[in-house]
Structure 1
Amino acid sequence: MKKRAIILSFLLSVLLLFVACGSNDGAQDTTANPENQEYEKLTFDNYGREVNVTAKPQKVLTLGPNCSELFVALGLTDYIIGNSLDNHSRGALPEYEEDYAKIPELNYSSATRDAVLTSGADFIYGIDWEFGGSGLELEELTEFGITTYMNSATTLDEIYEEISHIGKIFQIEDRAQAFIEEQKSRIATVQDQVSEQEPVKVLVYDSGGDGVFTCSGTNFETLLVELAGGKNVFDDITEKQWITVSYEEVLARDPDVIVIHDYDTPSLEEKIKEIKNDPTLSKLDSVKNERFISISLESVLPGNRMAYTVEKLSKGFYPELFN
């Protein structure tokens, strides 16, 4: 009897141990890593393309400094495994420098097909000019299991929608909405300050050569210029976002201010020298009076800098108002 009691006690102990282990396993499953929890399929209209996201992306490529810095601003730096187009950047805003420096560089200039396809990425958020012409074909990216969301906004509503979609994809909807509201508030403040001012006539100077390479009326930069109290002197041209116009046409439209893009080459100093030495542009009062405003190229692309750029441009347009 004693032997049987010992055996029964042993079996009971083993049974209780299994029950306890099963209970602990179940507890672990219910508190598992949030990344492994069920993810509701999301479908977005991305400028005429249907984008489906069935799981939270883990390895992201941000193609374009504006796209990279937006992810940093939204607290998504750790998801990025590579970026591109830092040749169009003058560095992150001070508040984002530390996190931006953590991002591995996929390509200094445009992303290449081989670099993207061998990166291990499962998601791309990239400016539209990185696709097609550079060899990144959307269909092929899909075949390689890479979901692509293009950055192609030309209005504030469109970039706010992009930010909202990113919030849903990465389950940070409240953070994304708070960022949008902050941008709206800062821009509204500038508009109140310049509302009674006569719009300043603005030439956007990206580069020279056979003419002035500038932005048209459908370009996102034109919107930022208008929000800051300016008027793009070539806003009546709408066929393409980027255009080349003659020096004579610039002279005829007589801009009050010249906004100059600052990126790697040619340098800002070289561009100003080109403008001053040009026999036609040098006749402009804005050139004689050196009414130049420099701005980094990434600042006029749709991303996280809308309010920053509107604030900076307005101070350049109306120095007497803000000083």
Structure 2
Amino acid sequence: MKKCFAGMLGILVILGGVLAGCGASSNNETGGNVSKSSMAFEYKTLTFDNYGREVTITAKPTKVLTLGPNTTELFVALGLTDFIIGNSLDNHSRGALPEYEGDYARIPELTYGSATREAVITSGADFIYGIDWEFGSEGLDEKELAGMGIPSYKNSASTMDDIYQEIRDIGQIFEIEVTAEQYVTKQQERIAAVQEKIKGKEPVKVLVYDSGGDGVFTAGKSNFETLLIEFAGGKNIFDDIADQQWTTVSYEEVLKRKPDVILIHDYDIPSLEQKISDIKNDPALSQLESVQNGNFVAISLESVLPGNRMAYTVETLAKGFYPELFD
């Protein structure tokens, strides 16, 4: 028995040595791969140029605030709903697109209107993706938030390349690069299909009507909406106001430019119906042929903000501008 045991022990020792040798050889050949595999679980620090402001992300966020219905719905569209712990500005929303309603409804509301400093800093958030007007002199202080360990990425696109880059950056931050790139590609394909359909058509002259009062509150050249109008075959009649995203213009100036279509923003107050009534009963605007013919196109405000709806909005506007092409 002792001899058998000794023999067996010797065999085990030899086998152990052989296996150890094989293991060592394997590690030497693929040591880099093993190292990379183990490092795949480590989050690489990311630095972004966010419209002239450097944003550094050192860890994958898990508690996100999305400030603005457009930023919230973009997260939903990219499959990131479960990361959101609060959103803002639902007062500027007419609700999510049908395919996103269920997920959007699960998101807690941080504030109905603009986010407040107190609500943000007590939320427990570790990342903010917010529309630009939620920051600045009348909003949140990005430097202060960063000092509290809450990095913020501003949604401030004025070109398609801008918003596509925002989507790609979000893809990097949340390690869904493929999903983000596929989303960008799909948007580009849908917009290209609309442009093919309206090719050769004379641009429709469009007045953006957000609200009335002492004049018409409308969109200037640098407004993202102006770009969407152009992709849909229209021309913002105030695209010569280059230095402002939003501006108030006189009724007299509107009459001079004779818009073919009145593009009305639909959000909570006043209602779309009230805005149309105000336009029809306005002494100046009622003189427009487009008003007399009822050439109104309605769009929810979040649909003309940079986010996930670029293709949807171009499709919607094109149908309103050229209904005969889409019957």
Q: TM-score, normalised by structure 1?
A: 0.89
Q: Which runs of 5+ in 1 are unaligned?
A: 1-29
Q: In structure 2, what is the Cα distance between the partners aligned to 1:133 and 1:206?
A: 23
Aligned counterpart for 2:214 among listed residues 200, 210, 215: 210
8 A Cα contact 1:83 1:104, kept in partner: yes
Match of 2:23 in 1: none
Q: Equivalent residue of 1:187, what SS?
A: helix
Q: In structure 1, what is the Cα distance between the partners aligned to 2:67 and 2:182?
A: 24
Q: In structure 1, what is the Cα distance between the partners aligned to 2:85 and 2:284?
A: 47
Aligned counterpart for 1:96 among listed residues 91, 95, 100: 100
Match of 1:225 in 2: 229
Match of 1:57 in 2: 61
Tell me if 1:312 matches 2:312.
no
Q: Equivalent residue of 2:265, what SS?
A: strand
Tell me if 1:124 matches 2:138.
no
Please, what is the CA RMSD of the aligned residues? 1.4
The Cα of 1:144 is off from its aligned counterpart by: 1.1
Q: In structure 2, what is the Cα distance between the partners aligned to 1:135 and 1:72?
A: 25
Q: In structure 2, what is the Cα distance between the partners aligned to 1:161 and 1:194?
A: 27
The Cα of 1:321 is off from its aligned counterpart by: 1.2
Aligned counterpart for 1:164 among listed residues 164, 168, 180: 168
Aligned counterpart for 1:322 among listed residues 295, 320, 326: 326
Q: Which runs of 5+ in 2 are unaligned?
A: 1-33
Residues 113-135 of structure 1 deviation map (CA, whole Å, 9 limit, x = unaligned): 00000000000000000012444
8 A Cα contact 1:215 1:242, kept in partner: yes
8 A Cα contact 2:220 2:246, kept in partner: yes
Tell me if 1:109 matches 2:123.
no
**Amino acid of the structure 2 residue aligned with 1:202:** V
**Amino acid of the structure 1 residue aligned with 2:324:** E
The sequence identity of aligned pairs, in percent, is 71
8 A Cα contact 2:206 2:259, kept in partner: yes
Match of 2:154 in 1: 150
Q: In structure 1, what is the Cα distance between the partners aligned to 2:100 and 2:208?
A: 27
Q: In structure 2, what is the Cα distance between the partners aligned to 1:82 and 1:68?
A: 9
Tell me if 1:190 matches 2:190.
no
Q: Equivalent residue of 2:225, what SS?
A: helix
Tell me if 1:201 matches 2:181.
no
8 A Cα contact 2:133 2:139, kept in partner: no
The Cα of 1:37 is off from its aligned counterpart by: 2.5
Match of 1:244 in 2: 248
**Amino acid of the structure 2 residue aligned with 1:295:** I
Count of paired positions? 291
Q: Which is worse superposed, 130-139 or 227-236?
A: 130-139
Tell me if 1:303 matches 2:307.
yes
Match of 2:145 in 1: 141
Tell me if 1:46 matches 2:50.
yes
